[in-house]
Copies of this chain bind each other. A is one copy, B any other.
Amino acid sequence: MISRLIAEIQKKNAPVVVGLDPNMKFIPEQLVRDAAREIANTPNGDDELMIAANAVWRFNKEIIDAVCDLVPAVKPQSAMYEQFGVPGLMTYWRTIRYARERGLIVIGDVKRGDIGSTSEAYARAHLGRVSVGGHSVRVFDEDFATVNPYMGSDGIKPFIDVCNEQDRGIFVLVKTSNPSSGEFQDVLTQDGRPVYELVGEKVREWGELSMDGAYSNVGAVVGATYPEQAKRLRELMPNTFILAPGYGAQGAGAKDLACFFNKDGVGAIVNSSRGIIAAYTKEKYSKYGAEGFADAARAAAVDMVEDIRSAL
């Protein structure tokens, strides 16, 4: 699967993924009104979670249409759907399906992690097939999922098995983009190295179990906000593809990003969420207005792709 992501990045000349983290604060009013009208004609006409979920679906659909020729992938963040309960997860599922229809690769930002048969259930839910009634069916059907390493190999191996069986991939959290990521990840161990380096080494090791060309289907999440750490991790994990969140809204700029890539300009994909999907709320793109939110997102995606290209 990682070879497919790399091919799509090269085809579009854009190592950029658009994060679909919709928040009701920036879903235009009109979409909520349209959603309310649609839901009013169903048996659950006044269900507010259904209205919110439907508005998010409308929002995502327009964003996907606006950016699908510019970028290779989208990354829906499961929390933003889970907050609207079962209807929200229906929108998560519809969003994935629609993005795939539009030729996009889907990275499910689920940050799941558990042990043994439980991790296997998550892996099957997101990347694989589940056996029911003598058949095996796809469930959420992302191409990649993000995974939390805190429980060690028991939590990761079931994902790798499913990746190998179904040609899918994962990105393991190594050094996350948030301000407090150092609390445990940067703690120095007895040999003087921080915890995130140990995790990075394990990711390289796990990666050997699922190579796909020059890179592994087992990738790493390394925050764009930590270029120094990324430099070290890039050396430590030469065949590991990096998903780098934190560009834009979280403060990282293109100049910080070159070290996430290998010398051949491959090896990483940079995420922006609010910076693109809520672009119309920023001064730079305010001329589009709420009704032009998708055009604003497209303009912001064009600018971001240009910015990242310039850094490589």
Contacts and interface: CB of A to CB of B under 8 A. Distances in A.
The residue in A89, A115, A124, A199 that gathers the most chain B C-beta atoms within 10 A of its C-beta is A115
A281 interface: no
Contact of A184 (B115, B179, B181, B199): B199
A36 B132 CA distance: 11
A185 interface: yes
Q: How many copies does the complex hold?
A: 2
Nearest to A174: B150
Interface residues of A, number: 70
A93 B86 contact: yes
Contact of A131 (B24, B80, B115, B182): B24
Contact of A189 (B23, B84, B154, B189): B189
Given A86-B93, A93-B86, A49 B139 contact: yes
Interface stretch (A65-73, A106-114, A258-266): A106-114
Nearest to A124: B83
B21 A118 contact: yes
Contacts of A148: 111, 113, 148, 150
A24 to B, nearest CB: 7
Given A84-B132, A112-B79, A118-B77, A137 B184 contact: no
Contact of A79 (B79, B122, B182): B122
The residue in A82, A119, A173 that gathers the most chain B C-beta atoms within 10 A of its C-beta is A82
A177 B115 contact: yes
Contact of A82 (B23, B113, B121): B121
Nearest to A32: B133
A164 to B, nearest CB: 19
25 contacts: A24-B131, A24-B132, A48-B133, A48-B137, A49-B137, A52-B130, A52-B133, A79-B112, A79-B119, A79-B125, A83-B125, A83-B130, A83-B139, A85-B140, A86-B89, A88-B125, A148-B150, A150-B173, A151-B181, A152-B178, A152-B183, A152-B184, A152-B185, A184-B199, A187-B198
Given A48-B133, A151-B178, 18 more contacts: A24-B131, A49-B137, A52-B132, A77-B118, A79-B119, A80-B118, A83-B125, A84-B130, A86-B86, A86-B89, A149-B184, A150-B150, A151-B180, A152-B180, A152-B182, A184-B202, A187-B195, A190-B192
